[in-house]
Amino acid sequence: MKWSDRYLKKMQTVAKEEALNDEIAVKVTDLKKSFKLPTERAWGLKQAIFNRLKGVKGYKQQEVLRGISFEVKKGEFLGIVGRNGSGKSTLLKLLSEIYTPDSGSVKINGTLVPFIELGVGFNPELTGRENVYLNGALLGFSNSEMDKMYEEIVKFAELEQFMDQKLKNYSSGMQVRLAFSIAIRAHGDILILDEVLAVGDAAFQEKCNDYFKSLRGNQTVILVTHSMENVLKFCDRAILIEEGKIACEGKPEKVTKAYTALWQ
């Protein structure tokens, strides 16, 4: 084979790999995370020195994630399930760059909108309008980008006549609806949701359910939930995390069955 032919073949291979990579929205490789939990406190310098000489540490190491690897394709609706303490929320905070991994990597292809805790970043002394722009800035959007999203966010939240009132005068339900609407209507490439489908009254929940149905195949979504019904209803694929590792991965029916088996 001539040098030119080998070079052409190599370039075709590289182009194919780049095209394949472009189909991936999130790539997680051998992700590990642990925390130091305090066990006992040394009351005074003398006790601290004594403990150190005896080799007694004031903490224990808790391994939360023990080598998680997976990919999420663009347009895929991925469900992540697991029992309390399995590492689900820690994983989402690593994806959202709230935590830094001990080792491993997270690669994000596109803009990511995390919705992990309701109302984080809200200022009760600011108006609803001002909080929309504040949250947009926290998510990495410019004022001009938020100008384009604003009407859509307010319309979805059904709070048009309240946007110039201070947030402290909103009911808790109104605040939840506004926070939720900012997250799902902010035009990011990847949406991360942590157990947030049950927000607002029954009518608003139904509206949210209809919206999630419309996302399938159109936007990349990672959903952490304890609801197997939501996994079966919305997700294209699911992952079961148990004791910091992936215990099962595949079709929603397969993963929900494995999750249910953990309780038997």
Is residue 64 assigned to a domain?
no
What is the model's pLDDT at position 114?
80
Q: Return the CATH number at 129.
A: 3.40.50.300
- Using one digit for the tens of pLDDT, what is the confidence trace for 218-242? 889 999 988 899 999 999 999 999 9
Q: How far apart are CA 255 and CA 231, in angstroms?
A: 9
Residue 14: is its pLDDT beyond 60?
no
For residue 127, the enclosing domain spans: 74-261
| 64, pLDDT greater than 90 | yes
**Cα 15 versus chain centre, distance:** 30
Q: 82 and 241 in contact (C-beta within 8 Å)? A: yes
- For residue 6, being part of any structural domain is answered with no
Specify if 119 maps to a domain.
yes
Would you place residue 123 in the very low, low, confident or very high pLDDT band (cuts 50, 70, 90)?
Answer: very high
Q: Check residue 135 and give its pLDDT.
A: 87
Q: Is residue 61 part of a domain?
A: no
Residue 248 lies in a domain: yes
pTM above 0.85, yes or no: no
CA–CA dist 201, 70 (Å, integer): 35
Which of 116, 183, 193, 195 has the alpha carbon at shortest distance from 153? 183
pLDDT of residue 220: 93
Joined tokens for residue 61: 């190491």
Q: Which residues pair with 222 in a beta bridge?
A: 78, 192
pLDDT score for 115? 75
Q: What average pLDDT score do residues 1-8 get?
A: 50
In the chain, the number of structural domains is 1
| Best CA proximity match to 134, nearest among 124, 125, 123, 145 | 123
* Assigned domain for 43 exists: no
Q: What pLDDT, on a 0 to 100 scale, did the predictor assign at position 13?
A: 46
Whether 39 maps to a domain, the answer reads no
Q: Inform me whether the pLDDT recorded for 55 exceeds 70.
A: no
Report yes or no on 33 lying in a domain.
no
- The H or E element spanning position 33 is strand 24-38
Q: For the CA atoms of the chain, what is the radius of gyration?
A: 23
Q: How confident is the model at residue 139 (pLDDT cuts 50, 70, 90)?
A: confident
Where is mean pLDDT largest: 51-65, 84-98, 190-204?
A: 84-98
